[in-house]
Amino acid sequence: MNTLQLAPEQDRSATFRGPPVSGDEVPIHRPSRELTLSKIVGLIDGSASQSVTFSLFYGTDITAAGTLILTETTTNNTGGEEFTSFTNGVIPADNVMWAVLTTVSGTVISFMVTAVFE
């Protein structure tokens, strides 16, 4: 009997550049099957005293309110800051996952958010 083994889902990242400002949003992923998040990593490129507060959502329509995955603040500009607690950590198939910046303070050149799936 042959068994089809699917490769694990790739991590997905999105980068805010330019510098990023409050209200910026960017899509991260639209999986074709249901996925469970393992962690989110936030990484700032900027000065020594900066922070970014961001929210992640999923839904069938990126222009709608969406379902909250998490809201977190990161200040890490060395190796990234990991977040593993989610309000909703299962992304349904054919739903878009996106990030929204709610607060940006200090000198932030760019901000990258990475979704890591189980």
In 71-106, which positions are buried (b, 16+ CB within 10 angstroms) versus exposed (e)? ebebeebeeebebeebeebebeeebbbbbbbeebee
Bridge partners, residue 83, by sequence: 40
Q: Amino acid identity of 63? A: T
Domain ranges of the chain: 12-117
pLDDT at 64: 87
pLDDT (tens place) for every residue of the chain, 118 residues total: 555 544 555 789 889 988 899 999 999 999 999 999 999 999 999 877 899 999 999 999 988 889 999 999 998 777 889 999 999 999 999 999 999 999 999 989 999 999 999 8
Gap between the Cα atoms of 2 and 96, Å rounded: 33
Q: Are 49 and 4 spatial neighbours (Cβ–Cβ below 8 Å)?
A: no
- Token match 């910046």: residue? 101
Read off the DSSP letter of residue 19: S
CATH T-level topology, domain 12-117: Jelly Rolls (2.60.120)
**CA 42 remoteness from chain centre:** 8
